[in-house]
Amino acid sequence: VEASIPEPQRAAWKKFTPKGFTTPEEFEKECVRHIETTLARSLYNCDEFATYAGTALAFRDRLVLDWNKTQQNQTFADQKRVYYLSLEFLMGRALDNAMLNVGMKDVAAKGLSELGFRMEDIVSQEHDAALGNGGLGRLAACFLDSLASLNYPAWGYGLRYRYGIFKQEIVDGYQVEVPDYWLDFNPWEFARHDITVDIQFYGHVSKYQDDNGTSISVWEGGEIVQAVAYDVPVPGYQTENTNNLRLWASKAASGEFDFQKFNSGEYESSVADQQRAETISAVLYPNDNLERGKELRLKQQYFWCAASLYDIVRRFKKTKRSWKDFPTQVAIQLNDTHPTLAIPELQRILVDQEGLDWEEAWSIVSKTFGYTNHTVLPEALEKWSVPLFQHLLPRHLQIIYDINLNFLHYVERTFPKDRDMLSRVSIIEESNPKMIRMAFLALIGSHKVNGVAELHSDLIKTTIFKDFVKVFGPDKFTNVTNGITPRRWLHQANPRLSELIASKLGGHEFLKDLTLLHKLENYVDDKEFRKEFQEIKYANKVRLAKHIKEANGVSVNPSALFDVQVKRIHEYKRQQLNIFGVIHRYLAIKAMSPEERKKLVPRVSIFGGKAAPGYWMAKTVIHLINQVGKVVNNDKDVGDALKVIFLEDYNVSKAEIITPASDISEHISTAGTEASGTSNMKFCLNGGLIIGTCDGANIEITREIGENNIFLFGNLAEDVEDLRHSHLYGTYTLDSSLQAVFDAISDGMFGDASHFSALVNGIVEHGDYYLVSDDFASYCKTQDLIDEAYKNQEEWWTKCITTVARMGFFSSDRCIDEYAEMIWNVEPLPPKQEQ
Ligand code: GPW
């Protein structure tokens, strides 16, 4: 590789290469310089936001140096790289993470205080990067942190949405969506105006003969939109290794305007063309676990896949290797089916543009991709209508038909007796209109398919992919149980707990090898340790109580049991079960004497989460929670015994405050519906216990921490089908205490009952698909057990500490090492030592 600065001049260059700061004074110098010059502000108008900006820019300078070196090192090393394709990266804030990973937070804190600012105030100025909906997007962000921290040569590829997930406001108890424009000031991205890719849409396919008489397909006509790269540095923890997240923005291909149109007076239509191009990356679709088949969404997917693959192929071609080496140099992981178009796109590049024959190309393609499935919910499985697809991507449709044809021929030869098999496994569903089943395409085009927790990985093999296990054999399918990054979710969110652990374990090694936490079991009976552990939990609850007071105007008692359910609002996640349980508790309190009430364990029920804007049932649940809160929180009979809080606009930075402050968190999905869940891991790692169903990763958490340390309830996944059947066709009587809850609602105790009739009727009249009534009694009984357990404080804290000690398995570092070994076959690349 040629360097642009010739050898004789390199000494001069190196002399002036910035070195970054190491002392508080040096930090202050950089910070003030940025505020005065980069931002053109001064001593007289430097507020907390400007100070945040100066701090961020000072750290950014530092990250960029590591980042450049890392990218150079990766290019020279010429070894296999991982590309993680995800339509969502729920990154949250970057500054705190950057300071901690670089190991300079204390230095900066000292510098800031000398300038008259408090670190907490500065850090909280940053706008969350909220380019995701929920668990799937946050998982991608945790993976980036682990990939960087473990020195894997890896890139993330995503879309640079101008608007991330909407901001949620609660007005009169209803959710209102407000656009999230987050790019006013974003020091963490670098526009690469020189790195662009032209992306084609629409048009038609023509066939020609080449010189040898073979027919070649050419995709012609249509329109071109330009993809522009924006790069975000991803720092690893205690390593110089800094990976790249590349996000694509869409732009009109012919510069800013179509000048011909502009000059001929068609001003408006030339502006419209430009806006249409920019619309592609304008906004994140706000659905979680739901696909709606909109054309713009398909455009987003192709735009991002095509730009990313062009980039990956361009990088590979620089190595001058032969195409058969492609899968030894490149591993591409598909985060759910959203990036499945990358499969026919790579086949198209190899066959139509590089002239490989079909079989050779397909062998390369199917060795390159791995596919992670995150759901078995039918409404979340992506399908695209053939007419829509034909219109937008005519050549890709042909390629998918050919992939399908070859595959079905193979199935036919292998299972000549099973005629139905062909229609069951076909990528094309013979409906009207015909639909393309993206999960099948992803599976057929990948060498490995994984689920995200053991139960889920078993379920995909017996339900949605059952026939494919027969076709490909069981070894194509594997499990990689999800994990979370302990840097953000312990060290950053709960610094005091991280310090306490470090003081016992002799340093912060556990943040790189979370299994070391097991040594904490030696301190379970240590009086001093227990006291500090409790004090930390209490302080975290005081902090959350303060936030609740500011945000909701409600005073809550930090000594009460904090019961938390924060996640996207979804019927399968069953926030309705929780709020019905709260109503049940309220009715019980109302029926008590004042003396009895005094003996209760006071409880604060805390909810948070967004509903997809078009999801009426989920919005109804939010409304009910707020109505219940209004009644309960103002009822003098109840006092501290029960408070009900809905926290507005749950996001990553709020999660960092909420997670360390919970005593009990709820993971209560209908068994078999939550693929994994990851907040369950975050709560346990922070010394909170959980109430949960036998679903997703709850099962493995139970295995790790022990049955005595978790509150499990409810029916099992294997019984769900029969129970649903009995609702529809059997004789079924509603649990009497749930009936009492419904009666209270219909009596208007929480306002106009008609607002909530759909919610209640879904259960009493329409088959109770999520089995709320089947699990209600068991849920309430388990909540009573929790009250009893909390009264025995000694035992309670033993459970909490033991839980933390046994959470080592759930680090995303373990998870990434498993992907690297079982799926990607890549090795870490340690940073080069400075000579
Ligand atoms: F439907 N998940 C999510 F599978 O947050 F695509 N959004 C989604 O759209 C989907 C899945 C999808 C979640 C799962 O619900 C959760 O159980 C899992 O822990 C998480 O993905 C990460 O694997």
Break the chain into its structural domains and give their ranges: 78-93+128-479, 558-819
Q: In what order do the strands lie in the sheet with 330-335?
A: 190-201, 223-235, 242-252, 154-159, 81-85, 330-335, 369-372, 448-451, 477-479
Phi, psi (deg, nearest 5) at residue 327: -70, -15
Which of 84, 89, 136 to mutate for ligand 1's pocket (most ligand atoms within 8 Å of CB)? 136
In tens, the pLDDT along 656-715 reads: 999 999 999 999 999 999 999 999 999 999 999 999 999 999 999 999 999 999 999 999
- Contact between 159 and 132 (Cβ < 8 Å): no
What CATH number does the domain located at 558-819 have?
3.40.50.2000
CB-ligand 1 contact for 464 (6 Å cutoff): no
55 vs 49: CA distance, rounded Å: 10
- Contact between 300 and 339 (Cβ < 8 Å): no
3-state helix, strand, coil in the chain (%, to 5): 55, 15, 30
What CATH number does the domain located at 78-93+128-479 have?
3.40.50.2000
Distance from residue 135's CA to the centre of ligand 1 (Å): 5
- pLDDT number for residue 270: 78
Ligand 1 atom having least distance to the Cα of 456: 17
288 vs 129: CA distance, rounded Å: 17
Give me the residue label for tokens 């062009």: 310
Spell out the alpha helix ranges (H) of 667-719.
Answer: 679-685, 698-705
The β-bridge relationship of strands 435-437 and 383-385 is: antiparallel
Ligand 1 atom having least distance to the Cα of 678: 19
Spell out the alpha helix ranges (H) of 453-610.
Answer: 454-462, 466-472, 486, 495-505, 527-552, 575-590, 594-598
Closest listed residue to residue 126, CA positions, set 60, 69, 179, 223:
60
Q: Which residue(s) pair with 154 in the sheet?
A: 82
Ligand 1 atom having least distance to the Cα of 372: 23
Task: Count CA atoms closer than 13 A to 197's CA, side-chain side.
Answer: 21
Closest listed residue to residue 791, CA positions, set 523, 559, 540, 555:
559
CB-ligand 1 contact for 380 (6 Å cutoff): yes
452 vs 696: CA distance, rounded Å: 8
User: What is the DSSP code (8-state) at residue 769?
Assistant: T
Q: At a CB cut-off of 8 Å and minimum separation 6, what does 803 contact?
A: 684, 687, 689, 705, 709, 710
Closest listed residue to residue 231, CA positions, set 190, 292, 172, 198:
190
Catalytic residue IDs = 374, 567-568, 573, 678, 682
Q: Is the fold of 78-93+128-479 the same as that of 558-819?
A: yes
Distance from residue 380's CA to the centre of ligand 1 (Å): 9
539 vs 253: CA distance, rounded Å: 54
- pLDDT number for residue 835: 44
Closest listed residue to residue 46, CA positions, set 59, 34, 58:
34
User: CA 825, 827, 828: angle at the middle one, nearest 5?
Assistant: 145
CB-ligand 1 contact for 142 (6 Å cutoff): no
In tens, the pLDDT along 187-197 reads: 999 999 999 99
CA 588, chain centre distance (Å): 38
Buried residues in 378-403 as b, exposed as e (16+ CB within 10 A): eebbbbbbbebbebbbbbbbbbbeeb
187 vs 107: CA distance, rounded Å: 20
First to last CA, the chain: 19
Distance from residue 267's CA to the centre of ligand 1 (Å): 44
In total, the chain counts a number of residues equal to: 835
- pLDDT number for residue 626: 99
- Contact between 22 and 107 (Cβ < 8 Å): yes
Closest listed residue to residue 165, CA positions, set 108, 91, 84, 100:
91
Closest listed residue to residue 686, CA positions, set 465, 512, 473, 501:
501
Q: Which residue positions in the chain have pLDDT lower than 50?
A: 256, 835
For the chain, give the longest Cα–Cα distance.
95
188 vs 91: CA distance, rounded Å: 11
Q: Which residue(s) pair with 606 in the sheet?
A: 564, 645
CB-ligand 1 contact for 270 (6 Å cutoff): no
Instruction: Kindly indicate whether the ipTM for this predicted assembly is greater than 0.85, answering yes or no.
Output: yes
Closest listed residue to residue 128, CA positions, set 284, 329, 21:
284
CB-ligand 1 contact for 438 (6 Å cutoff): no
CB-ligand 1 contact for 452 (6 Å cutoff): yes
CB-ligand 1 contact for 610 (6 Å cutoff): no
- pLDDT number for residue 267: 76
| Nearest residue by C-alpha to atom 9 in ligand 1 | 289
CB-ligand 1 contact for 372 (6 Å cutoff): no
| Nearest residue by C-alpha to atom 10 in ligand 1 | 289
